[in-house]
Amino acid sequence: MSNSSPSVTLRRTLGLTALTLFGVGDILGAGVYGLVGRIAGMVGYAAWTSYIVAGFMAALTGLTYAELASRFPQAGGAAFFCKQAFRSSLITFLVMVSVVLSGLFSMATASRVFANYATARLPELPSWVQSGALPTVFVALLAVVAVRGIQLSSRTNAVCTAIEISGLLAIIALGAHCLGGVNYLAFAAGPGAEPAPLLVLGGASLAFFAFVGFEDLVNLSEEVREPERTVPLAICLSIAIAGVIYCSIAVISVSVLSPEALGASKSPLLDVVRTAAPGFPTWIYTVIPAFAVFNTALLNLMMASRLLYGMSKADARLVPAVFARIHPRWQTPVVGVAFAAGVVAVLLFTFADIKTLASGTATFLLAVFVLLHVGLLRIKRDPTLPPPRFRTPALVPALGALTGLLLLLRQDGKALAAAGLMTLVALVLYGIVRLARGRLEVEATD
């Protein structure tokens, strides 16, 4: 069924429009539908400021990715970039593990959000259906679509992206009559409340999760036409489009409901629609978020499988060669898809809190992003590496590294602890792989 022959390669079918739709669809979804309420509850009526800050920081990272992708247009993404920058197999391995885990945690977050919205009108369902069976079936469906091929995945993405953008624009239209009734510069107050700058930064640390997804586009480079030009443009367009939508949704949401009500809601945008337009059929906002988070989860699954594929066929393999096998007919990395879906199923039965899952995603990615900013500064000083078709000023990665560290320090404590534990496990696995490789080399010499 599968084939690792070098004659079978990934198919280049994606142009700028399709790739931008992938990026927008990946960025939008679980972040806006699941976290806008939490951010409003943390920051207050000025929640939109956290999205501005998070968007600015995402743009810095997006510009760094854009230059790196124009220099090295191939699957492997951040792990391959760090390999070129640091020439360290340990750093490359840790980056690969972090990116894969961030994608799988993001899939698990999306699965939880999907279950919350899909069952919002069915409170009588047993908890095991909402927390276990439904998210697991959801992941299985994702795997089927991802294995079937990039063209089917692209069409599915285009449909889902159109639906979710239409749904968000409809929320803006339905709530527009409530604009102007609150103070949009009012921050959360009360005993123990932090100063406004810290509130904004704390909200941005969670809002940053809502912007992740643009980095997945580099892992599709081998399926893109003219990747040196198309990938950087798609990254920049995706972040800009998503940023405008997020800020608009944040302003509309606090115009309709108080930050306290939004923070307590499991399905905040559904409650916004119920309040802003009581006669509007609310079942629509049970269906649209389902499409949105399906889109996010599908693209994360594709990212993780392509990353495993890219790193398994490199000269110095960091994962087993089995991940390089692709389906002979559909030309997709079938082993990587199956493995990633299986890990997500395990995560669903291990972690239940959406906020911790989202913060875990951001923690892994922020650590990777800081390394990439530093790595780009190193690459810029190396004349032996390929020149970029898209060049970023050195100030961008320098600012990106500093702001990334700030956001990393503001992440949820449980997420930081989980990330530390998983990094330790990854280090142990790396040591085992190195020892095994050393024995094989000795045996081959003998």
Whole-Å CA distances, 343 to 34, 336, 339, 354, 403? 22, 11, 6, 17, 31
Cβ-contact 105, 411 below 8 angstroms:
no
pLDDT at site 315: 56
Residues 6+ apart with CB under 8 A from 240: 59
pLDDT at site 319: 65
16-417 is a CATH 1.10.645.10 domain: no
pLDDT at site 443: 46
pTM tops 0.85: no
pLDDT at site 76: 59
**Cβ count near 446 (within 10 Å):** 5
pLDDT at site 252: 95
Note down pLDDT in tens along the chain; length 446 residues: 444 444 455 667 778 888 888 788 778 766 787 788 889 999 999 999 999 999 898 889 988 988 888 888 766 578 788 888 898 888 888 888 888 888 888 888 888 877 777 776 666 777 666 666 777 788 888 888 777 755 555 666 677 778 878 888 999 999 999 998 899 999 988 767 788 888 998 889 888 888 887 877 776 777 778 777 788 888 888 888 988 999 999 999 999 999 999 988 878 888 999 999 998 887 887 778 777 777 777 777 877 787 777 767 655 566 677 777 777 776 778 888 888 888 888 878 777 777 777 888 888 889 999 999 999 999 999 888 878 878 889 999 999 999 999 888 888 778 788 888 888 887 887 787 677 665 544 444 44
Residues 6+ apart with CB under 8 A from 154: 13, 14, 18, 21, 22
Residue 353 φ then ψ, to 5°: -85, 120
Residue with token string 């299986």 = 342
pLDDT at site 393: 92
pLDDT at site 35: 83
pLDDT at site 43: 93
pLDDT at site 399: 94
User: Taking every pair of C-alpha atoms in the chain, what is the biggest distance, in angstroms?
Assistant: 80
Residue type, 255: S
pLDDT at site 132: 67
Dihedral, CA of residue 133, residue 206, residue 120 and residue 349, to nearest 10: 10
